[in-house]
Chain A
Amino acid sequence: MKCTVRITISLKKGMLDPEARAIRHALENLGFATEALSTARVFLVTMEAASKAAAAAQAAKMCERLLANPVIHRYEIEVLK
């Protein structure tokens, strides 16, 4: 079956997010008060897989091998269809 997986890569808790800090500052300049802001990266991956669970497992391997850097990142996987 064809599965589409959404992979979200974000920084682990406590990691400095300089980009988020700069964006928050820019929002503040525009008059938007924010309490917290973090950035994440989303990948939509479509693949052929035996089941949704198999697609999720394959996506996890992609994260481990390339998409995430285990020193700084965490990842979430959601099978969309």
Chain B
Amino acid sequence: MRFAVVRFGGSNCDRDTWHVLQEVLGVDTDLVWYKEGLPRGYDAVVLPGGFSYGDYLRAGAIAARTPVMQDIQRHVQEGKLVLGICNGAQMSAEAGFVEGTFAVNAYPKFLCRPVHLRVETVSSPFTSRFREGEVIRLPIAHKEGRFITPPETMAALNREHRVAFRFCDEKGKVSEATNHNGSLESVTGVLGQFRNVLALMPHPERASEEVLGSVDGRRIFESMIRHVEIEG
């Protein structure tokens, strides 16, 4: 089993993500500079958080159009896993790996806080280690995280159970009061058409060790590992 964390100029969560995968969970993980392309086959690619290309044009827009994305697109078509975290989620949307987009927060301010999330589906390679409806806690850190999509796409996402996480309160209630960035239907984690891509605004790598106050994020990576173990 081999994972890659692809770093771009301006990525800043790449080493944290590598640390969790390699040093906390013991997965053979390469840190790959985007200019190298995908140098070998990987079971999963993680697009890390940060500010690739200084968020010029739109967050993730320029990274999404670099040549390495064509390699990652092929990797997605082969059914392998891609986890886009924060800036990586923005890239995944810009590259068309998931539907919708992440626009400037409803209140246009950088938000950095721990939030509650409700697990909306456990039938995905990223969420199998959770219980449906479970409330977890992960930090968010973004200014462009407001998920938007046309209504007919949102209906399809709901129908196909491709919403992975929504903002909620500590009891799991979803309402505008806990919709931190004004996302459509409080969505903050969405699966691609074949469920092998997850675009996730919160940061699981910042909640994967006891010392950081939450280990809920670790189960996203553990779900991926289990998926690879089972599917080969």
Contact = CB atoms under 8 A, between A and B. Distances in A.
Are A and B a genuine interacting pair, yes or no?
yes
Nearest to B65: A66
Main secondary structure of the interface of B (DSSP, over half): loop
B94 A69 contact: yes
A66 B65 CA distance: 8
Interface string B29-67: 000000000000000000000000000011001100100
Contact of B106 (A18, A66, A67, A69): A18
Contact of A18 (B108, B149, B150): B108
Contact of A69 (B61, B65, B107): B61
A72 B103 contact: yes
Nearest to B182: A16
B57 A22 contact: no
A50 interface: no
B100 interface: yes
Interface string A47-75: 00000000000000000011101011000
Q: Which of A16, A22, A65, A71 has the most CB of B within 10 A?
A: A71
B135 interface: no
B104 A69 contact: no
A69 B101 contact: yes
Interface residues of A, number: 12
Contacts of B57: 66-67
A8 to B, nearest CB: 14
Contacts of A16: 103, 106, 146, 182
Given A16-B182, A66-B57, A66-B65, A71 B108 contact: no
Nearest to A43: B57
Contacts of B146: 16
Contacts of B104: 18-19
A67 B65 CA distance: 11
Interface in B91-142: 94, 100-101, 103-108
Contacts of A19: 104, 108
A72 B182 CA distance: 15
Contacts of B107: 18
A71 B61 contact: no
Contacts of A72: 101, 103, 148
Contacts of B148: 15, 71-72
Contacts of B94: 69
A17 B58 CA distance: 14
Given A66-B61, A66-B62, A71-B150, 12 more contacts: A15-B148, A16-B103, A16-B182, A18-B108, A19-B108, A21-B108, A66-B57, A66-B65, A69-B94, A69-B101, A71-B100, A72-B148
Interface of A: 15-16, 18-19, 21-22, 65-67, 69, 71-72
Interface of B: 57-58, 61-62, 65, 94, 100-101, 103-108, 146, 148-150, 182
The 6 nearest A-B residue pairs measured at CB:
A18-B108, A71-B101, A18-B104, A69-B101, A19-B108, A18-B106
